[in-house]
Amino acid sequence: GRFFYQRLVEFMASGPMWAYILAHENAVPLWRSLMGPTKVFRARNNVPDSIRGSYGLSDTRNTTHGSDSPASASREIAFFFPEFNEQLWYQHEEPHLRCRQVYYNAEERVHCVFRNEETELT
């Protein structure tokens, strides 16, 4: 393993953690852009308004994680959300997202597909 792995695991397990699946055509690069550089020093100097630039404490405690590729995202989604079927989501839900046939359910904190007699999943 990498030299920082144990410190990273300890930090990530030290308090509450939220995991999300972000759905967007360019989700990985867009999220990585919002996070800013992994190195907090670089983030603070080069992208101070990024998440890491604003809230990062150190390179290990940099406040956020984002997959580095769609393949990594798939592995991480399977780890954190074992009940989520990515292939079925792409077949049945993603087309509705592209057509903006979704709404935000604040109570459940999730985006949902509009479902009615005229809108059937294919």
**Set 65, 92, 96, 111: catalytic member:** 65
Is the distance from CB of 52 to CB of 62 less than 8 angstroms?
A: yes
- Report the 10 Å Cβ neighbour count for 43: 24
d(CA 28, CA 49): 19
Residue type, 19: A
Active-site annotation holds for 111: no
**Catalytic residue positions?**
65
